[in-house]
């Protein structure tokens, strides 16, 4: 009699293998029949307690297991209903290798979860021959178990920004730990209620531990941070300040183009990115062209100088020196009589506290911009996520510290 056995590949408790069948000329599928091992008392699936008695038997279901070589493995499982005194009714008996509501084994589910870290749901489904909905549901359940609760421990400095997830101004708010780069929380929209939901996950002690928050000049975020963490210093990121001033430069450039003669328009045309680009990134041809634009128009020349001077506001850690530089910059910019420039000055003055706070906390959301770029890759790879909760869990998994 042969000593060969496949039982070692199926180390399941309270069941025994009674039959195996291989299908197809290339053995592309296998059916393993399992029946209850009568040496053990069945357990209640609901509470895990031993059953008082067997209520009924003869029930069967097919459960997908890990592939064996190139063959898909299906388990033909016989199970019973038992009477549980603890639950006070008839319950399905507990299977050690599968959940009563799933049609895959625990070890296949863990394998699916591991694959979903590197592959899309569609790719995993095609690789294993499963329904994409099944794959997504399994992945989501494991993600909820690991990342469903918001971990707010040891947070001192936060970054807050938004990312567009769909067309039509659909946003999600991203909150990350500045030091570790870990995505702490994601939520739909970018209004006051959004951040209220995040802060609702924090205790009073955790809120009091927040020292600083880096963000852009978005008033709903500012309002909620001041409300929930009044002691935290709000720091406005240079990237967003420079981006706002870049829009001002472009508005002035368009107005100057409209006022220019036909001959001067030829010089100004197509100069947008020349004015916005940093000088060190210009080619020799672009540098010569920029010189022609600046020589031609004094207003644009002044704005170009102001663009470089604005960097100095974020260069020093001496708060008083930063204040003097900001005052000088606003005075110089105030000489340009253009509505967009004057509006930008008023905006800088209104949010001056967040700019000066950079001298105390040299932080910004540039790290979060890198995180956002990776989030966009995750979104594009999956061709978008209709389930925003699942999307948030995938992002938290990708940026787990």
> Which residue matches tokens 């031609």?
296
Secondary structure of residue 90 in the 3-state scheme: strand
* Local confidence band at 168 (pLDDT 50, 70, 90 cut-offs): low
Distance set, CA 48 to CA 16, 62, 95, 184, 201 (Å): 20, 22, 10, 35, 32
Domain ranges within the chain, ordered by starting residue: 1-103, 107-147, 157-237+364-398, 238-359
**Residue 1: per-residue pLDDT:** 46
What pLDDT, in 10s, does the model give residues 291-325? 998 888 999 999 999 999 999 999 999 999 999 99
Among all chains, which residue has been given the structure tokens 């599928």? 29
Closest CA to 76 of 27, 21, 28: 21
* Residue 238 pLDDT exceeds 60: yes
Question: Tokens at residue 305, please?
Answer: 């100088």
pLDDT of 268: 86
Q: Tokens 């006070």 — which residue?
A: 88
What percent of the chain stands above pLDDT 70?
97
Q: Evaluate if residue 24 carries a pLDDT over 90.
A: no
Q: What is the CATH number of domain 157-237+364-398?
A: 3.30.420.10
pTM, to two decimals? 0.81
């Amino acid at each position: 009699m042969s000593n060969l056995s496949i039982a070692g590949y199926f180390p399941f408790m309270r069941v025994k293998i009674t039959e195996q069948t291989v299908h197809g000329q290339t053995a592309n599928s296998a059916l393993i029949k399992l029946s209850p091992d009568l040496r053990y008392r069945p357990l209640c699936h609901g509470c895990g307690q031993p059953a008082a008695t067997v209520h009924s038997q003869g029930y069967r279901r097919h459960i997908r297991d890990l592939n064996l070589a190139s063959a898909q493995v299906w388990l033909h499982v016989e199970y019973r209903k038992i009477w549980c005194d603890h639950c006070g009714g008839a319950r399905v008996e507990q299977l050690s290798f599968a959940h009563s509501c799933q049609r895959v084994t625990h070890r296949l589910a863990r394998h699916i979860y591991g694959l979903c870290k590197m592959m899309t749901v569609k790719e995993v489904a095609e690789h294993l021959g499963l329904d994409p909905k099944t794959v997504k549901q399994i992945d989501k359940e494991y993600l909820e178990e690991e990342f469903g609760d918001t971990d707010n421990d040891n947070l001192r400095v936060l970054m807050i920004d938004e990312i567009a997830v769909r067309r039509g101004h659909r946003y999600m708010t991203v909150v990350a730990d500045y030091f570790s780069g870990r995505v702490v929380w994601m939520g739909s929209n970018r209004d006051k209620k959004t951040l209220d939901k995040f802060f609702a996950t924090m205790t009073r002690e955790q809120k009091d531990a927040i020292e600083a928050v880096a963000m852009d000049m978005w008033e709903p975020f500012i309002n909620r941070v001041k409300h929930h963490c009044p002691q935290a210093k709000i720091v406005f990121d240079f990237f967003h300040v420079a981006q706002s001033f870049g829009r001002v430069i472009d508005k002035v450039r368009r107005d100057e183009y409209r006022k220019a003669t036909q001959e001067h328009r030829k010089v100004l045309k197509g100069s947008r990115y020349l004015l916005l680009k940093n000088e060190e990134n210009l080619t020799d041809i672009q540098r010569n062209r920029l010189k022609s634009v600046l020589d031609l128009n004094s207003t644009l020349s002044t704005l170009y100088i102001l663009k470089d001077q604005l960097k100095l506001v974020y260069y020093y850690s001496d708060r008083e020196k930063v204040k003097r530089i900001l005052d000088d910059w606003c005075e110089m910019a105030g000489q340009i009589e253009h509505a967009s420039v004057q509006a930008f000055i008023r905006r800088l003055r209104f949010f001056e506290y967040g700019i000066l706070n950079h001298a105390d906390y040299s932080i910004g959301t540039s790290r979060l911009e890198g995180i956002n770029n990776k989030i966009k890759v995750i979104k594009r790879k999956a061709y978008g996520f209709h389930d925003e909760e699942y999307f948030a869990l995938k992002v938290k998994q990708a940026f787990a510290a």
